[in-house]
Amino acid sequence: MFDLSILNGVLSLVHIVICVIICIILVSVYKESKSIQYLFVGLTIFVFSSPWWPSAISVILYLFTGNGLNMVIYFFLGNFFVPFGLIFWLIAFTEMMYEKYKYLIVIVYIIIGVVFEVFLIYFLIENPTEIGTLSGIVDVNYKSFVMLYLLIVAFTLIVSGILFAIETMKSNNPKIKWSGRFILIGFISFNISAVLDALISTNPIALILIRILLISSMLELYSSFNMPKYLERILIK
């Protein structure tokens, strides 16, 4: 019988591997160019794959031991690193725009992130069911403050993507314009795929399509900052 949990974990692993590769490439570009936004965008892409770490690890453990991750470790891996990803993105974003407000923006989000982490760790210790539920080895449903924080993350990504796109569209350089388009499309794709991933988990075809959209969002973010030459030739004539 087909096991959807295995497919879920395998697709999560593919997504993570692609994010790691993109991160390595962007960090390499940073080392050559010394432009710090490449470093933080690379770290953003890697850390934003963290919600899918526990499903990949859980399936690997299940295949070798017959048991997946326990609820506490699953919730920790899936949520603890998300604030870091958002901070990394905001550092990169404010290096390119609104540099005057960089420290204010970053500090505000650090405070929000710290509050989230305090609640997360408290409930992980005291009552993990306040964070969400885990059915089987990968079927997770988050609730309460976790969903609120994830909404803040989604809103921030969309708004920053729109602002970046608006600013870059003012440029006469077509490559810069495409950079803004890719950022906006990438963040919209990421948020849509993340929501659908949480809502639709019982249909294998839908799951595959959602993960393709998720992976494409990371490739779009990558293309925004390090557009492949072949893509540049197609889009910019």
Report residue 119 as tokens: 């609640």
117-134 residue pLDDT tens: 999 999 999 999 999 999
E-strand stretches of the chain: 132-135, 139-142
Domains and CATH numbers, the chain: 4-235 (1.20.1070.10)
- The helix/strand/coil state of 68 is coil
Sequence-distant contacts of 39-45: CB under 8 A, at least 24 apart: 40/88, 40/89, 40/91, 40/92, 40/95, 41/88, 41/89, 41/92, 41/221, 41/225, 43/85, 43/88, 44/85, 44/88, 44/89, 44/92, 44/221, 45/19, 45/218, 45/221, 45/222
Residues of the chain with pLDDT > 90, as a percent, come to 67
- Per-residue confidence band for 1, with pLDDT thresholds at 50, 70 and 90: very low
- The proportion of the chain whose per-residue pLDDT surpasses 70, expressed as a percent, equals 97
pTM (predicted TM-score): 0.91
Q: Distance between CA 169 and CA 148 in Å, rounded?
A: 32
Residue 78, helix vs strand vs coil: helix
What mean pLDDT do residues 204-215 have? 92
State pLDDT tens for residues 168-187: 888 888 888 898 899 889 99
Residue 237 pLDDT more than 80? no
- For 38, residues 6+ apart whose C-beta sits below 8 A from its C-beta are 26, 27, 29, 30, 225, 226
- Sign, CA dihedral 10-16-19-23, equals negative
Instruction: Provide the 3-class DSSP secondary structure of residue 236.
Output: coil
CA dihedral sign of residues 27, 52, 217, 232: positive
pLDDT range class, residue 151, cuts 50, 70, 90:
very high
| The pLDDT of residue 174 | 87
- Tokens, residue 50: 């963290």
Hey, CA dihedral for 188, 152, 165, 18, is it positive or negative? negative
To the nearest 10 degrees (0 to 180), the angle between helices 53-65 and 71-79 is 150
Q: What are 32-84's pLDDT values in tens digits?
A: 998 999 999 999 999 999 999 999 999 999 999 989 999 999 999 999 999 99
Give the model's pLDDT for residue 201: 65
What's the pLDDT at 92?
Answer: 93
Position 167 scores a pLDDT of 87
